[in-house]
């Protein structure tokens, strides 16, 4: 797991083999065993990982590294009241796989590695999945901060803005232009 904790940029390199499913499974297995003492959900994870795009798998790998590394928020140590299996399901399947799937379509893996905002976004999503409060923040502040960081939400907002501006451009095309006193 030490190799993961520094998140070297080659994890994002599309030519390397780290992020193939067959290589990911032992890494996750170590992660689960070392951090959560869970060993029996690998079959379930294998199918989910195979369904991810290659970019999604790289992002998944980097995400595991961020969580192991402590990220900007020490999360797993604060999780209380979860069985290790439940925790793994929530963190691995409920958050990291889902996020890797969404982010894989939006953000190049290289952008995730070394980006403090994306690391924070990921950790906050894990915290949200586990209902963990963020120290020094009210629930509302945590919600607002996550909204600001949320790549998927931001993408949705941007798509909406794109539609609005495209419509405005289309309507403007139908209007006659104002007279310009000189050419260009």
Partner 1 sequence: MESEIITQDDLILALRDNKHAPKWNYSTSDKLTAPMRKEVSQYEKNLRAVKGSPQTWQESLQSSVEKLLGNALDHIIFYQRLKRVRQLLPRCDHLQEFPPISRSDLAKEPWSFVPDNIDYSDMVIYNTTGTTGHPFEVPQHPVSVAMYGSLIKDCLNRWGIKVEFAPDHVAIALVGYQQSTLSFITRLSTFNDGVFVKINVHPVAYADPSYPCHYLREAQPEILTGDPLAFTQLARLFEAYHLERIHPKALISTGIELLPRVREFLQSYFGCPVIDWYSLTETGPIAYACPQGSGYHILPPDIHVEFLDEQGNNVQEGESGEITITGGRNRYFPLIRYRTGDWGRITFEKCACGDPMPRIIDLQGRHPVIFQAKSGEFLNNADVARILRPFPLLIYEFVQERDLSIHVRFDLLPNKPMVDIIPKVRQVLETAFGAGIMIEITQDLSLATRPLQGKIRPFQSHISVLYE
Chain residues binding partner 1 by CB under 8 A are 111, 115, 117-118, 151, 154, 158, 161-162, 164-166, 168-169, 171-173, 175-184
In the bound complex, what is the minimum distance in angstroms from residue 109's beta carbon to partner 1? 13
Name the residue nearer to partner 1 (CB basis): 25 or 154.
154
Please, which residues have CB within 8 angstroms of residue 119's CB and are 6 or more apart in sequence? 66, 71, 72, 112
Name the residue nearer to partner 1 (CB basis): 143 or 163.
163
Name the residue nearer to partner 1 (CB basis): 71 or 89.
71
Name the residue nearer to partner 1 (CB basis): 47 or 169.
169
Distance, in Å, from the CA atom of 61 to the CA atom of 158, rounded to the nearest integer, reads: 27
In the bound complex, what is the minimum distance in angstroms from residue 123's beta carbon to partner 1? 16
For 125, 140, 152, 169, the CA distances from 145, given in Å and listed in that order, are: 11, 9, 14, 32
In the bound complex, what is the minimum distance in angstroms from residue 81's beta carbon to partner 1? 34
Task: Concatenate the DSSP letters of all residues of 89-100 into one string.
Answer: IIIIIIIIIHHH
In the bound complex, what is the minimum distance in angstroms from residue 172's beta carbon to partner 1? 4
In the bound complex, what is the minimum distance in angstroms from residue 184's beta carbon to partner 1? 5
Backbone conformation region of residue 183, classed left if phi is above 0, alpha if psi is from -120 to 50, else beta: beta
Name the residue nearer to partner 1 (CB basis): 53 or 158.
158
Name the residue nearer to partner 1 (CB basis): 77 or 182.
182
In the bound complex, what is the minimum distance in angstroms from residue 149's beta carbon to partner 1? 9
Q: Which long-range contacts (CB under 8 A, 24 or more apart) does 54-57 make?
A: 54/14, 54/19, 55/14, 55/104, 55/105, 55/108, 55/109, 56/100, 56/101, 56/103, 56/104, 56/105, 57/19, 57/20, 57/21, 57/24, 57/100, 57/104
């Amino acid at each position: 797991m030490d190799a993961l904790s520094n998140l070297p940029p080659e994890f994002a390199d599309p030519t390397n083999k780290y992020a193939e499913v067959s290589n990911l499974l032992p890494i996750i297995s170590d992660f689960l065993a070392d951090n959560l003492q869970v060993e029996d959900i690998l079959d379930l994870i294998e199918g989910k990982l195979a369904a991810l795009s290659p970019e999604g798998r790289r992002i998944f790998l980097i995400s595991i590294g961020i969580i192991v590394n402590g990220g900007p928020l020490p999360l797993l140590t604060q999780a209380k009241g979860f069985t290790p299996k439940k925790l793994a399901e929530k963190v691995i399947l409920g958050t990291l796989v889902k996020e890797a799937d969404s982010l894989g379509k939006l953000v190049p893996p290289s952008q995730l590695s070394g980006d403090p905002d994306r690391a924070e976004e990921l950790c906050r999503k894990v915290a949200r999945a586990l209902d963990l409060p963020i120290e020094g923040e009210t629930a509302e502040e945590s919600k607002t901060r996550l909204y600001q960081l949320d790549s998927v939400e931001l993408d949705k907002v941007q798509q909406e803005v794109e539609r609005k501006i495209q419509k405005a451009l289309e309507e403007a095309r139908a209007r006659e232009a104002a007279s310009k006193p000189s050419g260009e």
